Structure 1
Amino acid sequence: MCEEEKKKKGWFSKAWKNYSNAFFLILIIGVTAIIIFTQVDLVEFQKTLKQTKGEFLLLGIGCVFLYWFLEAYMLLKLMRQENSNEKFSFAFTLTMVGQYYNLLDPSSSGGQPIQLYEMSKKKYGLGTGTAVLVQKYALYQITITFLAIIAIVFCTTELNQSLDAVKWLIAFGLVLNVAAIVFIGILVFNPNAARGILLSCVKILLKLRILKNSEKQCKKIDHFVGEYKLAVEGLKDKKKETLQLFFVSIIQMMAFYSVGYFVYLSLGLNSVNAVTIISLQAILYVAVAFVPTPGAVGGAEAGFLLIFGPIYGAVNAPVAMILWRMITFYFILVFGGVYLSIHSIKMGKEKVNAIGEELSGEVDYLIEENKKKQ
């Protein structure tokens, strides 16, 4: 009996390690759905949903594909700095790996270890792979913050009509994103200062007993700073290419934000212009970017209803929110899962963590080698 209990416990422990994010995601989706549907008139909801114009929703899905293609294009440009013969198909596969696993991970970083693993199979060095992904992330972070700041200028009136809670949510998200950009700048120009800032934050968290094991945390900081230092050297050396990729990144994010506008048109609405809808989407994206759930589930839905509620009205807002999430979250998960299954890249959480630890050790070695050269 004892052996059977151990086997059952072992099976549960293994399943939890592999699928805990998926279980957590399903739970949050279920709770969110219950809250939403208890607050709406189901008869009116069904009536509005039936009147939706499908052609505009297809255009919204088209925006998601454009977003993916531009993501792949940027990865391809960065990889071709090392391998001029790299193919777009591989860059697109890397894109889907990142999209799928980042949505499943609460920190939105679960895709990077597998992306690095796939690049290593194509004979890319760990230094090159890390540089490509960190450079792409830095461009992404700068782009979404830049667009959000411009959007706030365009949408001051609309934001004043929203609830005070939305303003605090937006302010919090924007401050965190601006802080991330400032920190990237410090990493670029003074890595030692960046390390000092991180160590100070860790010391505070250690005193508050939020973090434990100071030696382990210091090693993580050294790894993080060294990783970024290796990556930003490429961006600094190729300023023209970096600027071009920044403009592509702006177009990419504008395409993603445009999904919301096509959802708006699909409901037969036309009183608000595209610039306003896209700007509000840019603000919403930044506001919920740091919600610690897979795909910002819960926060994204609540943020949408708060920000877009005055524009859509009580009847249309829940429908619009569900259609928007179906395209920008669930469609990506389903398409990504099918695509990666076909390409045999689907992995459990335990294997992802193992790959991450293995690659992390190799990157640490590269950082030490870089220090010796200096």
Structure 2
Amino acid sequence: MARKYVGSVLFLCLLIGITIYVLVENNDMRAVAAAMVRADQRWILAGVVTALFFVAAEGSIICYLLRAIGQNVPLLKCVSWSFIGFFFSGITPSATGGQPAQLFYMKKAGLPLTDSTPVLMVVAVLYKFVLAVLGLFIAIFCHKQLGAYFQGYYWLFYLGIGLNAVLVIILVWVMVTPVWAEKAALFLEGLLVKIKLLHPKEERKERLREAVARYGMVVRFFQQNPKKIVVATGMTLVQRSSLFFLTWLIYRAMGLEGVSLIWIMVLQATVYIAVDMLPFPGSAGISELVYAAVFASVFSGSDLAASMCISRGISFYLVLLVSMGIWCVCHFRNETI
């Protein structure tokens, strides 16, 4: 399974190399290093905990939704799937590898795809829905102020809102139309039979119909239990906000004051929304570029580059390494934690 991601990893390494080169070329790295050393380690540690909470919280959402449909899965297993999803999302363009990897390891743990697929789709819908709503709220109430911060990248913010909104619509449509899911499954099965990759079997078609029926039952359960979705939406909002809160922790670690917690979270949310759907593994390079533009008036001098290195280092690169470690444990032990 891991071999097909080699190209994505190499592309990610290339982007990281370019980012480091631009960072070194445009900054006094001695001053940046001094600013990083000066940072209060207590706030940095709080940032590390927050970054790990961000990923683990998705696992708690998965666990909550699985238990809602009768799958009594241990929380620790769901958290391990969340870290696996983060790792594969981080090394693939537009985070496309995350959910397929999660489905793979959930299936290995004995969960039927007809349960895990709609649950992960609900998680994806809520994630994109929360980002789209936050983006619209910020655009309506903070439009004038943000223009000065974004400089020439403001269009990326609105592109991010639009792409997230479109994806929410598509995912909801797929979820609530299981009839189309059955047609698509049978069409694909027929195509594989036609090109002789599969032998024609009526039993297989029947299993596909049963699987789609189970998928539809899970979707209908969520439709008939809106309170579960409301709770999961609240959990998703807290989870997403924790990543924006991390930037304020870094701000305080640098010994700075004067900009409010809410405004720093708003700025970080706009950065996240702007780069979330762009086709770069882990949003490497583009995240740093937009961050540097948006936070130029919040962090001065070498503090800007230092805060960017610490923030991205914790929220992405450190968590990616932790996630890779968890994936290795799960993969080579042939189990989930």
> What is the count of residue pairs matched by the alignment?
305
Question: Given the alignment, which residue of 166, 171, 174 partners 1:179?
Answer: 166
Corresponding residue for residue 267 of structure 2: 280
Corresponding residue for residue 100 of structure 2: 113
Residues of 1 paired with 2:77 and 2:243: CA distance? 22
Give runs of aligned pairs for residues 97-136 of structure 1, distance below 5 A.
97-136=84-123
Cα pair distance change 1:16/1:87, threshold 3 Å = closer
Residue identity over aligned pairs, in percent, reads 23
The one-letter code of the counterpart of 1:22 is V
Question: Given the alignment, which residue of 304, 309, 315 partners 1:328?
Answer: 315
Of the structure 1 ranges 43-52 and 257-266, higher mean CA displacement relative to structure 2 is found in: 43-52
Corresponding residue for residue 86 of structure 1: 73
1:306 equivalent to 2:293? Answer: yes
Name the TM-score, length of structure 2 as normaliser: 0.82
Give runs of aligned pairs for residues 7-46 of structure 1, distance below 5 A.
17-46=4-33
Corresponding residue for residue 360 of structure 1: none
Residues of 1 paired with 2:170 and 2:177: CA distance? 10
The one-letter code of the counterpart of 1:46 is A
Of the structure 1 ranges 261-270 and 38-47, higher mean CA displacement relative to structure 2 is found in: 38-47
Name the TM-score, length of structure 1 as normaliser: 0.74
1:149 equivalent to 2:136? Answer: yes
Contact 2:65-2:228 at 8 Å conserved across structures: no
Residues of 2 paired with 1:193 and 1:17: CA distance? 29
Per-residue deviation at 1:182? 3.5
Contact 2:85-2:99 at 8 Å conserved across structures: yes
Please list every run of 5 or more consecutive structure 1 residues that lacks an aligned counterpart in the other structure.
1-13, 195-214, 217-222, 348-374
Cα pair distance change 1:346/1:107, threshold 3 Å = farther
Contact 2:94-2:276 at 8 Å conserved across structures: no
Contact 1:155-1:276 at 8 Å conserved across structures: no
Corresponding residue for residue 187 of structure 2: none
Residues of 1 paired with 2:265 and 2:329: CA distance? 34
Corresponding residue for residue 160 of structure 1: 147
Residues of 1 paired with 2:106 and 2:223: CA distance? 23
Residues of 1 paired with 2:170 and 2:331: CA distance? 37
Residues of 1 paired with 2:7 and 2:147: CA distance? 40
Contact 1:162-1:306 at 8 Å conserved across structures: yes
Contact 2:127-2:236 at 8 Å conserved across structures: yes
Q: CA deviation digits over 1:42-71, x for unaligned, max 9?
A: 232222122111111111111122223321
Corresponding residue for residue 344 of structure 1: 331
Residues of 1 paired with 2:123 and 2:69: CA distance? 15
Residues of 2 paired with 1:279 and 1:298: CA distance? 21
1:77 equivalent to 2:64? Answer: yes
Q: CA deviation digits over 1:94-136, x for unaligned, max 9?
A: 1111111111111302122232122223322221111111111
Residues of 2 paired with 1:87 and 1:21: CA distance? 31
Q: CA deviation digits over 1:340-371, x for unaligned, max 9?
A: 22233599xxxxxxxxxxxxxxxxxxxxxxxx
Corresponding residue for residue 219 of structure 1: none
Corresponding residue for residue 242 of structure 1: 229
Residues of 2 paired with 1:140 and 1:346: CA distance? 30
Cα pair distance change 1:103/1:346, threshold 3 Å = farther
Residues of 1 paired with 2:333 and 2:164: CA distance? 31
Corresponding residue for residue 247 of structure 2: 260
Q: CA deviation digits over 1:16-54, x for unaligned, max 9?
A: 745211111111100111011111122322221221111
SS of residue paired to 2:299: helix
Residues of 2 paired with 1:341 and 1:185: CA distance? 33
Please list every run of 5 or more consecutive structure 2 residues that lacks an aligned counterpart in the other structure.
182-190, 193-207
Residues of 2 paired with 1:114 and 1:25: CA distance? 18
> What RMSD, in angstroms, separates the aligned Cα atoms of the two structures?
2.8
Contact 2:151-2:293 at 8 Å conserved across structures: no
